[in-house]
Amino acid sequence: AQKITQTQPGMFVQEKEAVTLDCTYDTSDPSYGLFWYKQPSSGEMIFLIYQGSYDQQNATEGRYSLNFQKARKSANLVISASQLGDSAMYFCAMRGDWGGYNKLIFGAGTRLAVHP
């Protein structure tokens, strides 16, 4: 069965420093995708970054990068040069195959607080 685990309920980081949010996954499918979403206090879900299981390079989007270690089944999000606006909940998700259809499975999330 597919599963996403985020072991850090809360993290804090000083402004301008880098932070890594952990995500491990479990799947038996050879083809899958991993996503990170940000949920600020206003409540919307914002797509940040995507990594495909066959992608050779780690995904990057601006200050966000995904540290993809396939053998360890981890897909950690790295935020460089943290800003106060990065304070939010962050969700890792995996595209899973349930009965032939692709669906997203979410972790429980990590709350990040950026301190000035």
Partner 1 sequence: DAGITQSPRHKVTETGTPVTLRCHQTENHRYMYWYRQDPGHGLRLIHYSYGVKDTDKGEVSDGYSVSRSKTEDFLLTLESATSSQTSVYFCAISESGGETQYFGPGTRLLVL
Spatial separation of the C-alpha atoms in residues 40 and 13, rounded to whole Å: 16
**If binding is defined by CB under 8 A, does position 107 make contact with partner 1?**
yes
Residue among 3, 7, 26, 45 that touches partner 1 (CB under 8 A):
45
Distances (CA, A) of 110 to 11, 56, 69, 106: 7, 27, 19, 12
**If binding is defined by CB under 8 A, does position 95 make contact with partner 1?**
yes
**If binding is defined by CB under 8 A, does position 66 make contact with partner 1?**
no
**If binding is defined by CB under 8 A, does position 91 make contact with partner 1?**
yes
Which residues of this protein are in contact with partner 1, per CB under 8 A? 4, 33, 35, 37, 43-47, 50, 91, 93, 95, 99, 101-109
